[in-house]
Amino acid sequence: MAGHTDSPLDAGARAALESGKPLVCVAPPAAWAVAPLFAGLRGSDVAGLRVLVLVPNVGAAADLARILHHIAGFEPVHASSGSPRASRLLAAGAVRTLIATPADAVRLIEQSALPMEQLPAVVLLGADALLAAGHGARLDTLLSEARNAQRIMVVADDAGPVREFLDRHARRAPVAALGRAPGAPGTAARYVTVDGDRRVAAARAVLDSLDPGATLLWEPAPDRIELWAAFGEDPTITIAGEPPAERRFDLALAADVPGAEMLARLAQHAGQVVILIRADQLPYLERLARPLRALRVPGVLDHERDRAHELRQAVRERIARGDVAAELLALAPLFDEFDPALVAAALARPAVPATSAAPALTAWVKVQVNLGRRDKVRPADLVGALLNGVGLPKDHVGRIEIRDTISEIDIRVESAPRAIEGLGQLSVRGRALSARAL
């Protein structure tokens, strides 16, 4: 994997990458920010799995996969959203770069599908975020299994609680800066939480809601510029990866979370800044911007509700039209492997009549709360807290799994920050709640 001659990595970082030694990299928690790191990562011509990248969630995995498709030496890339397919691809030698959450990676090890001892490199993308989400024990397990792998830790800041982890797993590793660590927040901004595949629709909704004049649409990933082709036809919108010099805009709309320097520059060039982010990027943004407020864009939520209603109606009509016994018989083996709800979700796209546009699958975030079966908590208690206490719409609360000491709730990605903050202010059965994203 040849490095670029214009790489921002310093000589020490490049030497570590080329020699296979550990490296700590400070960068914003976004795929675009770490592209130079992967461009400089050494590789070989040996077939099979070469790089394991551990990420906080499947949204981050999808964003990174798009970046790696454009960097030589990483294909084929597989962004895992569940272990069964990943196991099959790994067994067939059809994966060179695997992107997975720590939970998925541990499951693959338990299935003897992930050959960690022979793995050349492990990258922790957002190591501090992974630790904050409670993945410390899983990361210790994975890194102990990959004892011979080059270890590359990407963090937003190498200070604080993450330092002990870095000392344990990347002791005395050189530190490369692909962005300044966030300091005291001082730039005003608003944000919209959105799944990566819905960025374009969310951007349209923001523009419709705010109706600005001159707009800078900041897109940091060159491979995504084509997504905004229709916006380029609007003479009031300028699409760029760098704010044009000597120009002033009414709105800077960032298509991804920026670094500290870029956020300051966007604020200098525009009257207001709105940032499209994944839910897991919010803690980083909170360290950059103040005041920071969520921008409620009803159009996005209304559109999603309409599509969800259309999907449910299509399924009702299909059931009403005739016998589905043959389909149930064909699907029965899958029900032994997966939760039936997951099978239904996978089939949701073709369930819409051919005359209708198939709705995109909804993005969910798994939120963990600190109460479980031992606290006599029931799913109805948590649903009530979310609907009545936090004020979430009913269709933004998904599957709830009650375990011994904790519970896990699927929350729509755009409502996850609100749910986590709101649950932290509530009590259930006399016990104070705390919540975090997994």
Phi-psi region of 211 (alpha: psi -120 to 50; beta: other; left: phi over 0): left
User: Hey, is 111 helix, strand or coil?
Assistant: coil
pLDDT computed for residue 350 by the predictor:
46
Torsion angle defined by CA atoms of residues 305, 308, 309 and 311, in that order, rounded to the nearest 10 degrees? 160
pLDDT computed for residue 321 by the predictor:
66
Nearest 5°: the CA angle 22, 25, 30 is 130
Q: Contact, 424 vs 434, CB < 8 A? A: yes
pLDDT computed for residue 348 by the predictor:
64
Higher-confidence position of 323 and 113 = 113
Residue 402, phi then psi, degrees to nearest 5: -90, 120
User: How would residue 310 be classed by pLDDT, with cut points 50, 70 and 90?
Assistant: low
Residue 213, phi then psi, degrees to nearest 5: -85, -110
Q: Of 305-314, 335-344, 355-364, which gets the smallest average pLDDT?
A: 355-364
Q: Whole-angstrom Cα distance, residue 396 to residue 401?
A: 16
**CA of residue 374 relative to chain centroid, distance:** 31
User: How would residue 2 be classed by pLDDT, with cut points 50, 70 and 90?
Assistant: very low
Position 272 pLDDT exceeds 90: yes
Q: Whole-angstrom Cα distance, residue 80 to residue 102?
A: 11
Amino acid identity, position 136: G
Higher-confidence position of 344 and 35 = 35
Mean pLDDT of all residues in 55-62: 88
pLDDT computed for residue 352 by the predictor:
41
User: How would residue 190 be classed by pLDDT, with cut points 50, 70 and 90?
Assistant: very high
Question: Domain 364-437, CATH 3.40.640.10 — does that match?
Answer: no
CB atoms within 10 A of CB 227: 16
Percent of the chain residues past pLDDT 70, beyond the cut: 82
Torsion angle defined by CA atoms of residues 280, 285, 287 and 288, in that order, rounded to the nearest 10 degrees? 160
pLDDT computed for residue 45 by the predictor:
61
Q: What is the mean pLDDT of the chain?
A: 83
Superfamily of domain 11-177: P-loop containing nucleotide triphosphate hydrolases (3.40.50.300)
Q: Of 245-254, 351-360, 416-425, which gets the smallest average pLDDT?
A: 351-360
**Residues 6+ positions from 335 with CB-CB distance below 8 Å:** 343
pLDDT computed for residue 44 by the predictor:
57
Position 358 pLDDT exceeds 60: no
Torsion over CA: 325, 327, 333, 337 (sign): negative
Phi-psi region of 396 (alpha: psi -120 to 50; beta: other; left: phi over 0): alpha
Sheet with 23-26, strands from edge to edge, namely: 77-79, 97-100, 51-54, 121-125, 150-155, 23-26, 175-177
Helices first, then strands: H and E counts in the chain: 16, 19
Q: Contact, 55 vs 101, CB < 8 A? A: yes
User: How would residue 359 be classed by pLDDT, with cut points 50, 70 and 90?
Assistant: very low
Q: 5-30: per-residue pLDDT in tens?
A: 345 788 888 888 888 899 999 999 99
DSSP letter for each residue of 27-57:
--SSGGGGHHHHHH----S--S--EEEE-SS
Burial class (CB in 10 A: 0-12, 13-18, 19+), 374: exposed
Q: Contact, 375 vs 433, CB < 8 A? A: no
Q: Of 3-12, 174-183, 201-210, 277-286, which gets the smallest average pLDDT?
A: 3-12
What does the block give as tokens for 268?
């200098």
Nearest 5°: the CA angle 129, 195, 165 is 10
pTM of the model: 0.66
Q: Candidates 3.40.50.300, 3.30.310.10, 1.10.510.10, 3.40.50.880; correct CATH number of 187-296?
A: 3.40.50.300
Element (H, E) at 100: strand 97-100
Higher-confidence position of 306 and 154 = 154
pLDDT computed for residue 353 by the predictor:
42
Mean pLDDT of all residues in 412-438: 86
**Residue 423's closest CA among 397, 401, 404, 399?**
397
Domain ranges of the chain: 11-177, 187-296, 301-351, 364-437
Angle between helices 136-145 and 162-169 in degrees, nearest 10: 10
* Shared fold status for 11-177 and 364-437: no
Mean pLDDT of all residues in 342-355: 56
